[in-house]
Amino acid sequence: METLDEIGLRHKTDKSTMTHHYLGVYESYLKDWRDKEFTLIELGIAAGNSLKMWHQAFPKAKIIGIDINPDCAGYCEPPIEVYIGSQTDTVFLDSVLAKIGVPDVIIDDGSHVGADMIFSFRHLFPKMKAGGFYVVEDTHAGAYIPTYAGEMESNGRSKAFNFFTGLVYDVDVAGRGSCGNAEFCINHPSETPAVPEFSRILECAFFHCSLWWFKRR
Ligand SMILES: C[S@@+](CC[C@H](N)C(=O)[O-])C[C@H]1O[C@@H](n2cnc3c(N)ncnc32)[C@H](O)[C@@H]1O
């Protein structure tokens, strides 16, 4: 079977070893998904190279692209579905979900603006299927480059860096019991402090270079 990188190189996506070297990481998490039926949304289409790669690599998956640029509607053919709107427009995002159903994989390769990365994750991650993955790409932009990341916070890190790395606290259900049983820690009624925002739905997180993964519980 062709590797994701081989398929990606053929479609000239910058996720391949042509540029970012992300596809080996995708392969490691999605190696058992190649023959599976599932729904993948990518925020950010550009010329459609990555959508075409996903469709070829995962022929049974429903591949959905979202982009703010209307020109992107013309770059892919069915069965790939394209929706035009912003990753920060909750009404639009919900209308897409109403049409396509519950997503298993969401990839944020959109604006790369730190605030948008946080906004889309906050809105979409709770609406994903258990066992699915939310992927944030090109964090070298949204978490570090000032034009994307915005002003640094008091610890010298960006808001996006602090938000996403801060999710460790949510995964750990920090301070709620000295055991590795997250279900118990989340559900134990007498413990304080309050269960953090994503504890009930975020199973774990993986930080690769410029590529962050969040697994839905
Ligand atoms: C890096 S490109 C996507 C590349 C594509 N995923 C690929 O790998 O071939 C980023 C895309 O995000 C789109 N974009 C920028 N801001 C956006 C927003 N607020 N909502 C949705 N898409 C946005 C741009 O129009 C551009 O097409």
Q: Is 57 among the domain residues? A: yes
Would you state the structure tokens that stand for residue 5, as one six-digit string? 């990188």
Going by CA atoms, what residue is nearest to atom 7 of ligand 1?
Answer: 50
**Contacts for 85-93: CB closer than 8 Å, 24+ residues apart:** 87/43, 87/44, 87/111, 87/116, 87/119, 87/120, 88/116, 88/119, 88/120, 90/123, 93/66, 93/120, 93/123, 93/124
Q: Is the CB of 139 under 6 A from ligand 1?
A: no
Domain count, the chain: 1
CA of 45 to the centre of ligand 1 (A): 5
Q: Please state, for a pLDDT cut of 70, what percent of the chain lies above it.
A: 98
Q: Is 5 among the domain residues? A: no
pLDDT of residue 117 exceeding 90, the answer is yes
Q: Is 178 among the domain residues? A: yes
Q: Specify the 3-state DSSP secondary structure of 179.
A: coil
Looking at residue 182, which CATH number applies to its domain?
3.40.50.150
Going by CA atoms, what residue is nearest to atom 11 of ligand 1?
Answer: 44
Contact 161, 57 (CB under 8 A): no
Confidence label for 187 from pLDDT (cuts 50, 70 and 90): confident
Confidence label for 190 from pLDDT (cuts 50, 70 and 90): low
Q: Is 80 among the domain residues? A: yes
User: Domain residues for 103?
Assistant: 25-216
Q: Is 18 among the domain residues? A: no
**Residues 21-79: pLDDT tens digits?**
999 999 999 999 999 999 999 999 999 999 999 999 999 999 999 999 999 999 999 99
Q: Is 3 among the domain residues? A: no
pLDDT of residue 101: 98
pLDDT of residue 157: 96
**Residues 150-181: pLDDT tens digits?**
999 999 999 999 999 999 999 998 777 778 88
Q: Is 168 among the domain residues? A: yes
- Rounded CA-CA distance 179/185 in Å is 8
Residue 112 contacts by C-beta under 8 Å, 6 or more apart in sequence? 137, 138, 141, 142, 148
Q: Is 10 among the domain residues? A: no
